[in-house]
Structure 1
């Protein structure tokens, strides 16, 4: 039954890692599996696929807020299938976490939306109907697709269209699931409880044999330090050659430094209990060590873990900082500031990535936490655009970006957003007079005025701010509202042209693109 035509579609969103799920499906259908003809596309631009009669079409999904892009790909898949929904299968993170919303969409009736991992035999995992004699419906005892070695060859099919920032790596797991049940996280629903995965060595050796050696070891574990076999996992990584200073030498190419990355981060609440965890980490070429700092309540174990990491020689550190959940802006500021203080005290450099919380079943990025507001969230995005999504570096640069205190930070969040976007122009150059006038007006606002100002700005979009003037109950708010009206495109361009000729101090952030956060949403309109 070989030589069937199989189409794999990844929606056209930007993402950091290749679609491992589709790579495993390609392994099931490809030369090491059913020997079908597998085609991989990204987005809906490759119209040539409309001319082929495909036997099956798979669509993957990532974050729920990419609903629009995912929807476009599902609609395209139906078009490719000439309306035959039974040929279309949709899976992945969003399809699992928002399963009911996908199933209930009338235009997608008949499509199979797969929830969770493909960890059963293929026919069962894909919900194939043997009575209808569907393709491979008899495969009730085969190796689960989840356990297959990813097919890297499909990435070559789109290399002229899209290159994943992380690509020269072994993508695998040492463990699945998590011992935690954090309310902001989709892992418990996707993967369930903590358990060990198949040996890393088996996956690495198979990839070497089929596709050649890879530079890095990218482990997608959610909480590896919670594994009962943690020491054995680290020992296996060492045995594979991923030790400090390790390099990969390939014929005709310059040797390259290798690294291990537990890309989902590790748990400070476990790390701080025993120095063994970090001592073990120091025996592999981990870069960076990512430690989650999701709320101020874990400050003590987080700080202890950072100090212990420093003691064992781990100085390439990074973390994710969730905000817009149950935290306040002050909470986020204190966490960011702690890293700056630790950098200065210990002589290390922690790269922090603030991550805006979105519910795992929401179709866009519009969620506003109880202690945040729409205006503050837009301001935070603008600040992060200027810092490339990273909180790092010297105290001086941090203070300029985020302020010298929680109060300073909240004042920045409430500042007119073109003052943030063109900060140097307004603070030090041609716009200084206007900025000083604004500061004078702002300092006269009472707490009640500030609350009214935030409410008004959050109730509108920037293009309608002109209509807010005169609508406030407070005369002080009405006077200051004129500063919030966005600049015209012409004025904006004029500022940029003038700033091109002015040298400004800028922090050089030497962090590779493949270490940046993939879903920060920094390029979206604010």
Structure 2
């Protein structure tokens, strides 16, 4: 008998889909199991499963009624228990057996019978994990999901957080996580020698969920694993301890293209691709995958892809949902009101406006009618394709030779790691080498709050701004706050403060980055405004009240920013020795209890400005 497999990503926000889960889905489908992927409120999952159980019983008692049509009121009744939701459902009052079924399944849902061993649906439950600061939501997800599995042996936990903190995860969940990647034969089933980590991704499971990953129009892959460096701040050596220097991607891209349609970009999550002895082969394989210099693609007809996969029986739930989404999109895009109404009426008559009422049969029956509309809707122009080594490349390994080879593929941006100021000479040379070979769209990750001083972040950012102007290049910097993910005090939060940092300095940087969406681009004028035209101004910003940073123009027009600075500067040295530690703690709720110095208290009042009240005033203006 085929197994029921539930794969879950906790309901946190993240940019990229879970590659491990997508490979595991491919594995279980290859051996004939039924896979469900879920990301969202787990109460909605069990509500959905409860509805399916009830629906089966309802059809067994009366198959003349289209029970899916009443999905919404049935689910409201299951959740809330009010009989008012049953008033529009046929047979409830006239058929005592059906009425009892509703009562029973309301009790089933309310008392969480789905956790009882005899009612558990899934043979296998797999939960992925990501960052340690998602600890609470991830642990809650594991502890909920494990009770949906028929056997404790069928529960799997893996991913980044689980690999870094396996003992702590096991302690609070009772589940021993899998550490690292699934690269050994037989890791999921002892009698099966497939290597999970080498399998293609099942992109179809992304159609099953409502969550939209920001980076969705791309193939995701690794062409190497691990890293030759052992940086103190990095978890890669623990996650991928062995360096693998070539994992071909072209065949996986072709398989994915045939099943799921072309995707625009290729996003590679390699941690140190330049360390590979087979680097030239990697670039050649990327070109073979269709990502050569000047390559373009035309966005595929997603309706035709859904129809094709429904005919082949690949993830019916996902592609029925996809069709319903596209039908609604078509109605929005139809310019003729009369034609839109005709299409709406047709979709309503065939019950194709809701994923719970839509069926493969009705989708196929209306295919010839809708085909020309979607052909017109998906008449797209060619777009350039890009490759992104998203984790960055090592500035210490950049040479003329590998940058010349890299120019054979459409990389944008070229991300170069810039982890600390001691590397600035090497980094600068790496940038110049990259630009010399035509790589003028650049990006880099800058680590702060580790063993660095705040001024070093300023130097790093300013160097990039200066290089942009000199080389006529574009360098976007992404400052990344260091977080000790294995420290028991900090692994589940973002509270860590580095040796030379404090809470106020961290908040200042975050406030500036919030306004720039986390990145710092080219342009000296903008940089000087955001971070200061010199070191003295940067230090001034570090101590500036947060509201004055976020609503810079508003407070400058009021003249309040200059008044704060004058009042701050007029403090005596001894008064500054009182004020600065208070400001650095960044807690201003009860300043009178912190000092009795009137000059210091006057300055501290600026830090009590309420952001919400400022927002309201700005809205009024």
Q: State TM-score, norm by structure 1.
A: 0.85
As a proportion of its length, which structure holds more helix? Answer: 2
Q: Which moved more, 1:228-237 or 1:44-53?
A: 44-53
Structure 2: unaligned runs, 5 residues or longer: 51-119, 302-378
1:23 maps to what in 2? 22
Deviations 1:251-276 (A, max 9, x none): 643222100110000000110xx211
Check 1:478–1:89 CA distance in 2 against 1; reply closer, same or farther (3 A cut): same
**Is the partner of 1:389 in helix, strand or coil?**
coil
Tell me the CA shift for residue 393 of structure 1.
2.8
Q: Which moved more, 1:221-230 or 1:48-57?
A: 48-57
CA distance in 2, matches of 1:391, 1:406: 17
CA distance in 1, matches of 2:272, 2:452: 22
1:47-58 alignment to 2 at 5 Å? 47=45, 48=47, 51=50, 53-58=121-126
**Is the partner of 1:196 in helix, strand or coil?**
coil
Q: How many residues align?
A: 468
Deviations 1:45-67 (A, max 9, x none): 42335546111111101111111
**Is the partner of 1:217 in helix, strand or coil?**
strand
Deviations 1:394-444 (A, max 9, x none): 1111111110122211210211111111111011x2x32x32221111112
Tell me the CA shift for residue 89 of structure 1.
1.3
CA distance in 2, matches of 1:460, 1:403: 21
1:37 maps to what in 2? 34
Tell me the CA shift for residue 467 of structure 1.
1.0
**Is the partner of 1:370 in helix, strand or coil?**
coil
Check 1:226–1:488 CA distance in 2 against 1; reply closer, same or farther (3 A cut): closer
Tell me the CA shift for residue 472 of structure 1.
3.0
Q: Does 1:439 align with 2:565?
A: yes
CA distance in 2, matches of 1:40, 1:236: 31
Q: Does 1:371 align with 2:500?
A: yes
Tell me the CA shift for residue 449 of structure 1.
4.5
Deviations 1:195-239 (A, max 9, x none): 224312222222223322221111111000010111121122223
Q: Are 2:502 and 2:585, in contact at CA under 8 Å, matched by a contact in 1? A: no
Tell me the CA shift for residue 454 of structure 1.
3.8
Which residue among 120, 123, 129 is the counterpart of 1:61?
129
Q: Does 1:344 align with 2:469?
A: yes
CA distance in 1, matches of 2:255, 2:245: 19
2:155 maps to what in 1? 88
2:333 maps to what in 1? none
CA distance in 1, matches of 2:32, 2:226: 32
2:263 maps to what in 1? 214
Q: Are 2:503 and 2:586, in contact at CA under 8 Å, matched by a contact in 1? A: no
Q: Are 1:5 and 1:54, in contact at CA under 8 Å, matched by a contact in 2? A: yes
Q: Does 1:256 align with 2:305?
A: no
Q: Does 1:152 align with 2:170?
A: no
Tell me the CA shift for residue 348 of structure 1.
1.2
Q: Which moved more, 1:341-350 or 1:44-53?
A: 44-53
Q: Are 1:8 and 1:39, in contact at CA under 8 Å, matched by a contact in 2? A: yes
Tell me the CA shift for residue 245 of structure 1.
1.8
Q: Are 2:167 and 2:176, in contact at CA under 8 Å, matched by a contact in 1? A: no
Q: Does 1:172 align with 2:221?
A: yes
1:283 maps to what in 2? 408
1:413 maps to what in 2? 542
Check 1:204–1:477 CA distance in 2 against 1; reply closer, same or farther (3 A cut): same
Q: Which moved more, 1:64-73 or 1:175-184?
A: 64-73
**Is the partner of 2:446 in helix, strand or coil?**
strand
Deviations 1:339-384 (A, max 9, x none): 1101111111111111111112211111110011011111111111
**Is the partner of 1:261 in helix, strand or coil?**
strand
1:181 maps to what in 2? 230
Q: Are 1:6 and 1:37, in contact at CA under 8 Å, matched by a contact in 2? A: yes
Check 1:406–1:449 CA distance in 2 against 1; reply closer, same or farther (3 A cut): farther
Check 1:390–1:152 CA distance in 2 against 1; reply closer, same or farther (3 A cut): same
Tell me the CA shift for residue 460 of structure 1.
5.4
**Is the partner of 2:484 in helix, strand or coil?**
coil
2:92 maps to what in 1? none
Check 1:466–1:16 CA distance in 2 against 1; reply closer, same or farther (3 A cut): closer
CA distance in 2, matches of 1:346, 1:156: 44
Q: Are 2:139 and 2:169, in contact at CA under 8 Å, matched by a contact in 1? A: no
Tell me the CA shift for residue 137 of structure 1.
4.2
Tell me the CA shift for residue 470 of structure 1.
5.4
Q: Does 1:310 align with 2:435?
A: yes
2:551 maps to what in 1? 422
CA distance in 1, matches of 2:140, 2:580: 36
1:234 maps to what in 2? 283
Check 1:470–1:216 CA distance in 2 against 1; reply closer, same or farther (3 A cut): same
Q: Does 1:389 align with 2:518?
A: yes
Q: Which moved more, 1:72-81 or 1:468-477?
A: 468-477
2:176 maps to what in 1? 112
2:212 maps to what in 1? 163
Q: Are 2:166 and 2:176, in contact at CA under 8 Å, matched by a contact in 1? A: no
1:456 maps to what in 2? 582
Q: Does 1:224 align with 2:245?
A: no
Q: Are 1:329 and 1:406, in contact at CA under 8 Å, matched by a contact in 2? A: no
Q: Are 2:388 and 2:414, in contact at CA under 8 Å, matched by a contact in 1? A: yes
Tell me the CA shift for residue 316 of structure 1.
0.8
CA distance in 2, matches of 1:60, 1:329: 35
Deviations 1:3-30 (A, max 9, x none): x111111011111111001001101111
Which residue among 138, 142, 145 is the counterpart of 1:74?
142
Tell me the CA shift for residue 102 of structure 1.
0.6
Q: Which moved more, 1:193-202 or 1:286-295?
A: 193-202
Q: Are 1:5 and 1:55, in contact at CA under 8 Å, matched by a contact in 2? A: yes
Q: Does 1:472 align with 2:595?
A: yes
Q: Which moved more, 1:165-174 or 1:177-186?
A: 165-174
1:520 maps to what in 2? none
CA distance in 2, matches of 1:254, 1:18: 27
CA distance in 1, matches of 2:49, 2:385: 41
1:201 maps to what in 2? 250
Deviations 1:24-44 (A, max 9, x none): 1101111xx112111111132
**Is the partner of 1:76 in helix, strand or coil?**
helix
The CA RMSD measured in Å over matched residues stands at 1.9
CA distance in 1, matches of 2:5, 2:593: 61
Q: Which moved more, 1:412-421 or 1:442-451?
A: 442-451
CA distance in 2, matches of 1:17, 1:320: 18
CA distance in 2, matches of 1:491, 1:352: 30
